[in-house]
Amino acid sequence: MGIPDVLLRYEADQDVVDAGLAIWRILCERKVVDVPIAYLRSEIAMIVLVRLAVDQIHNGGIDAMFYNGWGECAEHCVKALQDIGAPKKAAVLQRAMDTYWGGRYPRTIAEWDELVDARREGEEMIPGVDELEEIFYRQSEDTDVLFVRYVAANVDVFEPPAVELPAP
């Protein structure tokens, strides 16, 4: 089953969350998530970044996104959320990023270690992180719907060519 098949089923009777998960599964099976963001087509990178940000936040909170190292992509995630139509969630993530490290990902191991050590000592890596997460979750922007709509509007980008040309 390809992405167009998922979209057809979604239009007929499938829940949007199921459609989003099915599309994400297809992209994972194609190893899209293993490719550095800089090498992906911008449309595909945007979807990967949106899914990355939302999944990280839902699975462990905003601080988990930074603590697990995905914070390196945070500013790209902010832009992707804006571009997909979730500017309020993007603003919350930007606020967390600004609070967390002044808006700039730590460029040295020493800067990163300082943040991690603060976490180990029981200090919040992001002051007020619980409040930011509550604000993030309260936003009316449904990233599942936006994700599926974006893929549907750009389905040709997400499908590999039907015929592979032989190598020269």
HSE-up (13 A, CA, CB side) for residue 142: 7
| Among 98, 64, 60, 61, residue whose Cα is nearest residue 78 | 98
pLDDT computed for residue 162 by the predictor: 41
Average pLDDT over every residue of 33-39: 87
pLDDT computed for residue 54 by the predictor: 92
pTM: 0.80
Question: pLDDT at residue 141 above 90?
Answer: yes
pLDDT computed for residue 150 by the predictor: 93
Q: What is the DSSP string of 58-104?
A: HHH-HHHHHHTTGGGGHHHHHHHHHHHT-HHHHHHHHHHHHHHHTTS
Q: pLDDT tens-digit profile of 81-109?
A: 999 999 999 999 998 888 776 666 777 77
Average pLDDT over every residue of 6-27: 84
Which domains, from first to last, does the chain contain? 3-158 (1.20.1420)
pLDDT computed for residue 116 by the predictor: 66
